[in-house]
Amino acid sequence: MPERTQPRVTVLGLGRMGGRIASAFLTAGYRTTVWNRTAAKADALVAQGALRASTAAEAVAAGPLVIAPLLDHTAVRQALGPAAAALRGRTVVNLANSTPEHARELAGWAAGHGADYLDGAMMALPETVATPEGFFLYGGSQRAFTTYRRELEVMAPAHYFGTDPGSAEIHDLALLGTGYAALTGFLHAAALLGPVGTAPEAFAPLAARWLRGMAEFLPELAREAGEASYTDGVSTVDLNRAGVDSLLQLSRASGIATDVHEPLKALLDRRSADGHGQDSFSSVFELLRARGRLRPGPPRWRGGWRRRGPGWLPWRTGC
Ligand code: FVH
Domains of the chain, each with CATH number or no CATH? 3-164 (3.40.50.720), 199-312 (1.10.1040.10)
The lowest-confidence range among 22-26, 197-201, 305-309 is 305-309
Q: What is the pLDDT of residue 307?
A: 34
Nearest-5° Cα angle at 249, 243 to 253: 145
Q: Tell me how crowded residue 153 is: count the other CB atoms within 10 A of its CB.
A: 13
Contact (Cβ atoms closer than 8 angstroms) between residue 305 and residue 129: no
| pLDDT digits 0-9 by tens, 69-126 | 999 999 999 999 999 999 999 999 999 999 999 999 999 999 999 999 999 999 999 9
What ligand 1 atom has the least distance to the C-alpha of 12?
43
Asked if residue 8 has pLDDT above 80, the reply is yes
**Percent of the chain at pLDDT above 90?**
88
Separation of CA 69 and ligand 1 centre (Å): 7
What's the CA-to-centroid distance between 6 and ligand 1, angstroms? 28
Q: How far is the CA of 36 from the centre of ligand 1 (A)?
A: 10
Q: Give the residue whose CA is nearest to atom 4 of ligand 1.
A: 125
Is residue 69 within 8 Å of residue 18, measured between CB atoms? yes
Count of alpha carbons within 13 angstroms of residue 219, beta-carbon side? 14
CB-CB contact of 93 with 68 (8 Å): yes
Q: How far is CA 64 from CA 29, 47, 124, 297, in A?
A: 16, 23, 25, 38
Distance CA 146, CA 141 (A): 9
Question: Residue with the nearest Cα to atom 5 of ligand 1?
Answer: 125
Centre of ligand 1 from the C-alpha of residue 185, in Å: 29
Helix (H, G, I), strand (E, B) or coil at 38: coil
DSSP assigned state of 7 = -
- Is residue 318's pLDDT more than 70? no
Which atom of ligand 1 lies nearest, measured to the CA of 121? Answer: 7
CA of 21 to the centre of ligand 1 (A): 12
Pocket test for ligand 1, best of 66, 71, 173 (most atoms within 8 A of CB): 71
pLDDT, tens digit, 9 for 90 and up, residues 146-156: 999 999 999 99
Query: Is 165's pLDDT higher than 50?
Result: yes
Closest CA to 72 of 39, 104, 102: 102
What one-character DSSP code corresponds to residue 42?
Answer: G
CA distance 23 to 130: 9
Q: Where are the beta strands (DSSP E) in the chain?
A: 8-12, 31-35, 51-52, 65-68, 91-94, 116-123, 135-140, 158-160, 304-308, 311-315
Mutate to test the pocket of ligand 1, among 10, 12, 17, 98 (most ligand atoms within 8 A of CB): 17
Q: Tell how far the Cα of 142 is from the centroid of ligand 1, in angstroms.
A: 26
pLDDT digits (tens, 9 = 90+) for 10-41: 999 999 999 999 999 999 999 999 999 999 99
The ligand 1 atom at the shortest distance from the C-alpha of residue 37 is: 41
Residue 224 CA, ligand 1 centroid: distance in Å: 39
CA-nearest of 287, 296, 295 to 269 is 287
Mean pLDDT of 307-316: 34
The DSSP code sequence of 203-221 is HHHHHHHHHHHHHHHHHHH
Q: Say what percent of the chain tops pLDDT 70.
A: 90
The CA–CA distances, whole Å, from 288 to 90, 268, 284, 293, 296 equal 41, 11, 7, 12, 12
Kindly give the residue spans of alpha helices, DSSP state H, lying in 123-199. 142-147, 149-155, 167-193
Residues with CB under 6 A from ligand 1: 13-18, 36-38, 41, 69-72, 74-75, 78-79, 96-97, 122, 124-126
Per-residue pLDDT band at 317 (split at 50, 70, 90): very low
If you average pLDDT over residues 255-280, what whole number do you get? 97
- Report which protein residue has its CA nearest ligand 1's atom 32: 75
**Distance from the CA of 101 to the center of ligand 1, in angstroms?**
20
d(CA 2, CA 124): 33
Q: 13 CA to middle of ligand 1, Å? A: 7
Phi, psi of 35 (to 5 degrees): -145, 140
- pLDDT at res. 74: 97
